[in-house]
Amino acid sequence: MTQKLLEGNLLSVIRSYYPSLTKSEQKVADKVLEDIESVLYCSVTDLADKSGVGETTALRFCRKLGFKGYQEFKLTLAKTLSNDAKEDEVVEQGMQYAIANNTKSVIDETLKMVDEELLHSCISAIAKADHLHFYGVGTSGLTALDAKNRLIRIGKHSDAIIDPHIQAMGAATLGKGDVVVGISLSGSTKDTLDSLEIAKKNGATVIAITYYARSPITQLADYVLLSGGKESPLEGGSLSAKISQLFIIDLLCTGLALNDKERSLEMKEKTARSVINKIY
């Protein structure tokens, strides 16, 4: 398929290719045509489940249409829907109010998704970890760096690795008693998944922070912490999605600090004093 055709209306493209698809692939096409807006926020696992097929069939459907993979398919899907209700909302409410309301709703959504018992299990695993790594790339990599910064202040040693090659090498050094936290909104970030798989094979405990309960990262993880703030491919790196991740990090760090209040307060004072001369 030519790039020009791909840039056209995706629904027309799907209908054009429909007769040439296998019966299983047609099930995926039916689901997309039936509820295109919800598909925009589906992981590849979600779409496969809703269509009653396997992930490989969903991926094959995307490639039959001429896409390299599912994310490229969703990007074109987002373009097809680019008349975006969010823009109307911004105009109607005023930019600052629309953004503020969206940010508040993301925190509320994330709070509802948090399983308290699971959260405490993650805090306990991190507290006992011999080595603690945070893996993420892109915007999720920035969240990983923020997690490391937060933990330094309470005296918990960790490493935030955002380079995929260093991630893979770091994962190979982990073992039983170590914990790695993989951060991926989509749950399908290949670099992060590859590194988590290496860590898992070496015996490390894997914690995932993601929006999608049904995604490749959740199949690898021992613990899954869900965050709110879904985004379309055209909204990559959105503030709301990042805030939802930071909220989860805040819960973990605060929980760790409460587990050992005395030491945490001591470390907070020590780290604050260490930079006191760097501020006028």
Q: What is the pLDDT of residue 12?
A: 77
Cα distance between the two ends of the chain: 61
Are 247 and 159 found together in one domain? yes
3-state class of 139 per DSSP?
helix
pTM: 0.76
Are 142 and 17 found together in one domain? no
Considering the domain boundaries, does residue 180 fall inside one? Answer: yes
Are 261 and 155 found together in one domain? yes
Are 166 and 232 found together in one domain? yes
Considering the domain boundaries, does residue 149 fall inside one? Answer: yes
Q: In what order do the strands lie in the sheet with 223-226?
A: 159-161, 132-135, 179-183, 205-210, 223-226
Q: What CATH number does the domain containing 21 carry?
A: 1.10.10.10
Quick one: DSSP state of residue 138? T
How many Å apart are CA 75 and CA 92, to the nearest integer? 26
Q: One digit per residue, pLDDT tens: the chain, 280 residues?
A: 434 344 447 787 888 789 889 999 999 999 998 888 788 888 888 899 999 999 999 999 999 988 988 988 988 888 777 545 555 555 566 778 877 888 888 898 888 889 999 999 999 999 999 999 999 998 899 999 999 999 999 999 999 999 999 999 999 999 999 999 999 988 889 999 999 999 999 999 999 999 888 888 999 999 999 987 766 665 655 778 889 999 999 999 999 999 999 999 999 999 999 988 888 7
Are 167 and 244 found together in one domain? yes
Sign of the C-alpha dihedral, residues 137, 231, 101, 83? positive
4 burial (CB, 10 Å; 0-12 / 13-18 / 19+) is exposed
Q: What is the pLDDT of residue 203?
A: 97
Q: What is the pLDDT of residue 163?
A: 96
Considering the domain boundaries, does residue 65 fall inside one? Answer: yes
Contacts of 239 (CB under 8 A, 6+ apart): 99, 103
HSE-CB at 11 with a 13 A cutoff on CA atoms is 13
- Count: domains in the chain: 2
Q: What is the pLDDT of residue 96?
A: 82
How many Å apart are CA 10 and CA 122, to the nearest integer? 42
Are 110 and 75 found together in one domain? no
Considering the domain boundaries, does residue 87 fall inside one? Answer: no
Considering the domain boundaries, does residue 94 fall inside one? Answer: no
Contacts of 200 (CB under 8 A, 6+ apart): 206, 220
How many Å apart are CA 95 and CA 110, to the nearest integer? 23
Are 144 and 209 found together in one domain? yes
Phi and psi at 119, nearest 5°, equal -60, -45
- For residue 14, the enclosing domain spans 3-80
